[in-house]
Structure 1
Amino acid sequence: MKIKYLMLFPLATIFCLNAQEPVVLSHYLFPEFQPGTVLMKNGTRNSAKLNYNAASEEMVFDNNGTVLAIADAMLPQIDTLFIANEKFIQLNKKFVKIVIDEAETGLFVEHKCKVVPPGKPSAYGGSSQTSSATSYSTYASSGMVYNLKLPDDFKILPYNVFWINLDGKLQSFSNIGQLKRIFRDKKRLVNDYLKANEVNMSDVESVKAAILYLKNN
């Protein structure tokens, strides 16, 4: 797999990696590349087939069968990405999807995943797996995480990190305990809501419903 350098967007240097495997986007956010628009801060709009690689945590696009990722030098020039009916902006140099777009309360989700390689044989007939960090660095450097399909014996473990802008303060949470700490001044309200409703961190809509309730009560 060779790395090439092209000019795709005006003034944008990007790298691309050839993808020749069947299209099974297990570690991508959308099941297939979607028509999208890249809005630059200078007002320029560029159309592309977009998707989000949760393994490499990069926005990528399909250019006639070649997977391309936006270079770091280009990121400061991008304002908003529109994919299907979703909007993405950047927080901490990462693309996040807008869940609630309100002046006083903003909710964003950062889609991530762990790529777990097949286990290595170990004593007593079992197997052991390297840490997610080790597996990611190994397979990212080889370009494997840019393939549209990872080998069948790899496991993809998706998870979400949410960011909430509450009264001008940006905080992150990925579990119920962290959410409770953010709304610690509404402890009883949070507990009552959790007794009546299941909040699943893998379900963006259930988290959105909880935030809207806690904000408005």
Structure 2
Amino acid sequence: MKSCLLTILFLHCAAFTFAQNTPKVYRAKNGSNISKNIPYQEQYQFDQFKPGKVYFRNGRIANALLNYNLFYGEIEFIGPQKDTLLLTDQNFMDSIAVGSEIFYFLPKQGHVQEIKNYGKIRLGEKLVLTVLDNERESAFNHYSATSAISNYKTFSNQNGYQWMKPTDKVVFKRKSDYFFIDKNQRFYIPTKAILLKLYRDNNKEIITYIKEENIDFSKQPDLMKILDFCSSL
């Protein structure tokens, strides 16, 4: 009996952990305002707009209530009329602090959050709501998944989040992309070749470590592990 109860408890905990680690998936009908189909708080990285600072390259600092919009992939602020607005003059900004979190601007990509500063290199993460798949309407209003990329168009625009056909549904989930950021705020997609270029004086040790630890450059824990090692050399 005791063994049975322990088994049930283990399965319950495992199911809870799986649910906690499973990325949230959102569905929205094409032609509708997607922002109304996804809870407002879940359209942003933080549960509320936080006091923050925008640091400009000329030394000026602007204070504002800020949050990171997962649709646009950029920082928004609350304007004088209490509406949410995207920041302008991005190329004149050095960095943005939202609470204790630091963001940098990557042209044509949006804002990238600093995960950790390793001295020579920072690890950055860009979190967005991306298209997982779309669901084409079938008989009796049931929806089946299809991966035809040609079925959908971009939704990001200044007038809202719109899709193309009112008879289809679109599926979104949160997705993270990672970057190495050097001291000059140049961004690099993490690869073995880039890492060896950035730490050219320690290539032999790094190559050995990558092989021994089987480093996967697409996974955050592995990126943190290899950067911890590189910063210790």
Q: Give the structure-1-normalised TM-score.
A: 0.63
1:140 pairs with one of 135, 143, 157: 157
Alignment of 1:1-217 (within 5 A): 24-63=40-79, 65-71=82-88, 74-92=89-107, 94-101=110-117, 103-116=119-132, 118-121=134-137, 126-128=144-146, 131=149, 134-135=152-153, 137-138=154-155, 140=157, 142-144=159-161, 154-165=171-182, 171-173=188-190, 178=191, 180-183=192-195, 185=203, 186-194=206-214, 201=219, 203=220, 207-217=223-233
How far apart are residue 85 of structure 1 and its match?
A: 0.9
- The Cα shift of 1:67 comes to 1.3
Q: How many residues matched?
A: 181
AA paired with 1:30?
F
Rounded to whole Å, the distance in 1 between the matches of 2:123 and 2:186 is 12
Q: Provide the secondary structure at the position in 2 that maps to 1:43.
A: coil
2:20 aligns with none
Whether the 8 Å CA contact 1:121–1:127 is kept in 2: the answer is no
Q: Could you list the per-position Cα deviations for residues 66-119 of structure 1 after superposition, in whole angstroms to 9, with x for gaps in the alignment?
A: 211113xx1122222111111122233532222344553333333333045751
- Once residues 43 and 93 of structure 2 are traced to their aligned partners in structure 1, the CA distance between those partners, rounded to angstroms, is 24
Amino acid at match of 2:207: K
Larger radius of gyration: 2
Paired amino acid for 2:92: Q
Counterparts of 1:87 and 1:168, CA distance in 2: 13
Which 5+ residue runs of structure 2 have no aligned equivalent? 1-34, 163-168, 197-202
CA deviations over 1:178-207 (Å, ceiling 9, x no partner): 3x3434643321132348xx9873x4x663
Which structure has the highest helix share of the two? 2
Deviation at 1:46, TM superposition (A): 1.8
Separation in structure 1 between the aligned mates of residue 82 and residue 185 of structure 2, nearest angstrom: 42
Asked if structure 2 preserves the Cα contact closer than 8 Å seen for 1:164 and 1:172, the reply is no
Q: Do the aligned partners of residues 167 and 88 (structure 1) sit closer, same or farther apart at CA in structure 2, a change above 3 Å counting?
A: closer
Return the offset for 1:213.
1.4
In structure 2, distance between residues paired with 1:115 and 1:125: 16
Provide the alpha-carbon RMSD of the alignment.
4.0
Q: Which runs of 4+ in 1 moved over 4 A?
A: 19-23, 122-125, 166-170
Query: What is the SS of the residue equivalent to 1:214?
Result: helix
State the alpha-carbon separation in 2 of the partners of residues 89 and 126 from structure 1: 39
Alpha-carbon shift at residue 51 of structure 1 (Å): 1.2
**Cα offsets for 1:94-145 (capped at 9, x unmatched):** 322223445533333333330457511259973435539944x235365128
Partner SS state of residue 42, structure 2 = coil
Per mean C-alpha deviation after superposition, the further-off stretch among 53-62 and 23-32 is 23-32
Task: Return the alpha-carbon distance in structure 2 between the equivalents of residues 169 and 43 of structure 1.
Answer: 20
